[in-house]
Amino acid sequence: MEPDPDIEQLFAPIAPTAAFAVVLSEAQEVLANVHEPIDAELWGSDMIGALSRSAGSEAEIMPALVESLVPAAEEAATKESLALLRIFAALGSPELARAATDAAERIKALGLPDPRWATGLGAPDIGDCWHYGDISGQQESVTTTFAYGDKAHALSVLVDHNRGGMIRDAWVGDAAGLLDKTWLTAENDPMVLFEKLDPVGARDRLRYAVTAGECPRNPDQADGVRAHRAFIHARLKLLTARTA
């Protein structure tokens, strides 16, 4: 379920405006073997994160995708470019989501079918949410779970309160049994505080961390935050819409 660690090396040296050939080539290789929506989202988030290294920031990558990759994907009009547009629609800013959706619908009108995993992409059900951290309040992990049908995944964000509540690390994994495992671990450690959250509480904590920014301490954490950034923002958008 985790993103491909080599995707950083593949996309990072390329400016987003010149990246479509490489992106589509990678999509042809990867998306043909993707069968679950969460795997499509994680690949897309990783790809967007890698491209953002050349763009400079997340704020700059989204307009670049609207201006360059979306038109190129529509011009290609292949099943891989249609899949790519569906991923952009699920993970992108409002402007990117609109542009990608419109382009995807025009390709679909030509007779190309959507991939099976595209149905409901970016709109899973919200499941259990919780957080745990050290009793001194220096850091906490906020976990939200989501499910496509009976297959649930968990997004965990490590928040550093010594740095104003910024995101230090992030990861996504299988949610099956994770709540019980986390609760038991916390129950047996007097230095750890554990609390279940409702979706509103999870939304507020995640929003605070996203607004505070990012503070990874090592290369692995930096890679994890960058690879999951678009995914985190998309899930926060979903939580916000469902708890309005």
- Residue range 173-208, pLDDT digits in tens: 999 999 999 999 999 999 999 999 999 999 999 999
Q: How many CA atoms lie within 13 A of 86 on its CB side?
A: 28
Helices (H) and strands (E) in the chain, counts: 10, 5
Res. 9: pLDDT tops 60: no
Which phi and psi (to 5°) does residue 126 adopt? -90, 135
The reported pLDDT for the residue numbered 20 is 80
Say which residue the tokens 């923002």 belong to: 233
Residues 49-101 pLDDT 10s: 988 876 556 677 899 899 989 999 999 999 999 999 999 999 999 999 999 99
Residues in the chain: 244
Mean predicted lDDT score pLDDT of the chain: 91
> When comparing pLDDT for 173 and 11, which is higher?
173
